[in-house]
Amino acid sequence: MRTDTIRAAAVQIAPDLSGRAGTIERVLNAIAEAADKGARFIVFPETFVPYYPYFSFVLPPVLQGAPHLELYREAVVVPSAETRAVAEATRKRGAVIVLGVNERDHGSLYNTQLIFDADGSLALKRRKITPTYHERMIWGQGDGAGLTVAETAVGRVGALACWEHYNPLARYALMAQHEEIHASHFPGSLVGPIFGEQIEVTMRHHALESGCFVVNSTGWLTEEQIAEIHPDPKLQKGLRDGCMTCIISPEGRHLADPLTEGEGMVVADLDMKLITKRKRMMDSVGHYARPELLHLVHDARPTLPRETHVAPEPDLPLFAALEEEEHV
């Protein structure tokens, strides 16, 4: 268990709705800014590159074809020039980065979280296991292989996206792997004020239950971007508020004032000794667990559309012996 102090940053900024190039530039600038503040762990919003599919929340399915295809064109392939640029910035600054992207894998899109370690390597690529509500029109489903805690330069990092935090078994899968820092993110600028309130409750609860730090990032839309997504003022109400960028201690406390509107970042120091202080009282996967009564079965195999079963090579010496017997 780590006992040092890690400075973390949760970033709340607007994407570039014109495409991934502009948004990646914003990511790189934010990495530099956070690192200049001493951050060694930096979290960005959900599917920030190129942008969260806000259109799917306010448009009926029959009108989503064009923006959905545009999202396909601007989505990120892993690996690619974009992921290499982030990896290089990560290596240069020596920080661990958690970045949400729309990942394109041939004919499908996924809500994907990328964890870059401080040396620039990709420590984890995971996909949201169940897209929520309108998102099911946009993304495919992830698998249990992504419910993995990554060993990084700042400790054991787990990650979930948005309403995956309402799946207690998904959270428990990470808790059982003893995550020390939990990276989470939401789209932000969605639903309304109640969304931000719910995010805060959820993040504080996970910190308490897991006995870990939670670094949560939500996105932000400007008024101009909201008008660009939809011109109807009534529907625009669903594209405001809902932000709660925050950093929570294992004791469920905010370590800095949360950010609920505008662009910026929340920066705080994570005193890793607080993990043991919390778990001494309640370790939900250790002395407070009852695995003989209740335990999780986690299928961590990646799901594949095709399995190849190859016939074994024949035992040639045996066949040769059989042929000799036939000739006798």
Q: In a structure prediction context, what are the per-residue pLDDT tens digits for the chain, which is 328 residues long? A: 788 999 999 999 999 999 999 999 999 999 999 999 999 999 999 999 999 999 999 999 999 999 999 999 999 999 999 999 999 999 999 999 999 999 999 999 999 999 999 999 999 999 999 999 999 999 999 999 999 999 999 999 999 999 999 999 999 999 999 999 999 999 999 999 999 999 999 999 999 999 999 999 999 999 999 999 999 999 999 999 999 999 999 999 999 999 999 999 999 999 999 999 999 999 999 999 999 999 999 999 999 899 888 888 766 665 565 566 665 5
- Residue 322, CA atoms < 13 Å, CB-side half-sphere: 6
Q: Degrees (nearest 5) of the Cα angle 73, 77, 80?
A: 115
Q: Catalytic site residue 37?
A: no
- How many Å apart are CA 141 and CA 167, to the nearest integer? 14
What sign results for the dihedral spanned by CA atoms 282, 287, 293, 299? positive
* Residue 68 and residue 81 in contact, taking contact as beta carbons nearer than 8 Å: no
Two tokens, residue 282? 């309640």
Q: Catalytic site residue 237?
A: no
Residues 6+ apart with CB under 8 A from 179: 149, 156, 157, 158, 210, 212
The catalytic residue among 82, 125, 135, 162 is: 162
Q: What are the distances in angstroms from CA 241 to CA 82, 150, 236?
A: 29, 32, 11
Query: Comparing C-alpha atoms, which of 273, 281, 282, 284 is closest to residue 249?
Result: 273
State the alpha helices, DSSP H only, in the chain.
Answer: 20-36, 55-58, 65-74, 81-93, 168-175, 193-210, 223-229, 233-236, 273-281, 316-327
3-state secondary structure of 185: strand
Query: Comparing C-alpha atoms, which of 171, 295, 215 is closest to residue 39?
Result: 215
- The amino acid at residue 251 is E
pTM: 0.94
Q: Catalytic site residue 46?
A: yes
The catalytic residue among 74, 103, 128, 279 is: 128
- How many Å apart are CA 43 and CA 215, to the nearest integer? 7
